[in-house]
Amino acid sequence: MNIEQKFANELIDFIYESPSPFHVVENVRENLLGKGFKELKLTDKWNLNKGGKYFISKNESAVVAFVVGNGEIEKEGFKLIGAHTDAPTFRIKPSPEMVVNNNYLKLNTEVYGGPILNTWFDRPLSIAGRVTLKSDNIMCPDSRLIKIDEPILIIPNVAIHMNGKVNEGKEINKQKDTLPLLSLINEKFEKDNYLVKILANKLNVDIDEIIDFDLFLYEYEKGTIMGLNNEFISAGKLDDLAMVHAGIEALINSKVSKATNVMVCFDNEEVGSRTKQGAGSPMLKNILERITLALRKDRSEFIRAIYNSFIISADMAHALHPNATEKHDPVNKPVINKGPVIKINANQAYTTDSDSNSVYEEICKKAEVPVQKFVNRSDERGGSTIGPISSSQLDIRSIDIGNPMLAMHSVRELGGVLDHYYVKKSFEEFYNL
């Protein structure tokens, strides 16, 4: 196994162990603690040292890790990489149990983000997330993470014999067609709190201790390296856990530089980022200011630091599709395993401009990493990402990049083994400048 395949397998393991944003942050936390980083609390006073390695979490679903530079922060600024911890899925509603014809038990769910719905059908699924428990302090309830590590759910298709036009395109009703089947009902079945009883059993707590939960569906089967030459990564949540994984590993592996290196993993990008732990919140700005103040600098020096900073907004990009080449710009057509993609949009759906583009191109050149460019067809609107949203909070020089992939927002996405290694190399080069 070569070094690129080894790193891709590490990504697959990370994704498999991170079925919800809460698990993403917990796994990042354990990794950072094992590599000498110190955990800080948002409610505590910070004492920071040059060369020190630290991290903070927010809502248990977002995390900011940083290595304090050995230069003066107002002169050297911050070098940041941003990604997000969430992915399109289904969230379980309160009191979700639904009995069908006294035979089936299914769960009531709500779509989170913009998944390709039909890819979730006929696959083994399970449940993961956070359960909130009673504590001695009403204002600070306890929480426990849960990952039901067995395939307990499925969203079954209607047979083609009863849905003859299914292959001609059928609108999927999010309230009716996508509710997962959990179990058959027997004579001893009790509908009330059925799911909560499962949670209590898994967590080994009394059912009365459970107040609420943030639970999501996830694909049970693990990702894999595939292709004739083992060149592809087939897995869910590549958007955007591939960038989380590469960014965190680059931060860990990089040396202490003059600037303060930061890796920020926001939550809720898939639903607009406008939450307390999203890119549209003051979370990152507040943390950067606190870093500056903890280094015994003042607010004026914080503002100077901001204007000496640079952020790489890292979210996945669209590769040329072999069955739909007409969907792409006629000239700029990124291909899997040809390197990270710089994303450009005239209407500022991406933050890239000639200045930031030039910076990242030179970084990739120095790292000996190939680089590509993506622009939408002029008659297609396309999507956006955390870059423009975070720019509304922090006016830092910024670029939007990502690795090329197919089937974005499918339950099973496809990326490149080489690209994942390439992007990590570019991040390490950036942090080591």
**CA–CA distances in Å: residue 356 to residues 314, 353, 360, 361:** 13, 5, 6, 9
Q: Is residue 329 reached through a cis peptide bond, with omega within 30 degrees of 0 on the bond before it?
A: no
Phi, psi of 242, deg, nearest 5? -65, -40
pLDDT at residue 381 above 90?
no
Q: What is the pTM of this model?
A: 0.96
Per-residue pLDDT tens over the stretch 94-116: 999 999 998 999 999 999 999 99
pLDDT of residue 14: 98
Average pLDDT over residues 3-22: 98
Between 243-257, 379-393, 411-425, the lowest mean confidence (pLDDT) is in: 379-393
Residue corresponding to tokens 């072999």: 322
pLDDT of residue 191: 67
Per-residue pLDDT tens over the stretch 50-89: 999 999 999 999 999 999 999 999 999 999 999 999 999 9
pLDDT of residue 188: 66
pLDDT of residue 189: 64
First to last CA, the chain: 30
What is the share, in percent, of the chain residues with pLDDT greater than 70?
A: 99
Contact partners, residue 242, CB within 8 Å, separation at least 6 = 11, 233, 316, 403, 415, 420, 423
pLDDT at residue 264 above 80?
yes
Q: Is 211 exposed, middle or buried (0-12, 13-18, 19+ CB in 10 A)?
A: middle
Altogether, the residues listed in the chain come to a count of 433
Per-residue pLDDT tens over the stretch 386-411: 888 888 899 999 999 999 999 999 99
Average pLDDT over residues 159-164: 90
pLDDT of residue 22: 98
pLDDT of residue 165: 87
pLDDT of residue 187: 65
Per-residue pLDDT tens over the stretch 172-212: 999 999 999 999 887 666 667 899 999 999 999 999 999 99
pLDDT of residue 168: 87
Q: What is the distance between the alpha carbons of residues 413 and 216, in angstroms, rounded to a whole number? A: 18
More confident residue, 8 or 386: 8
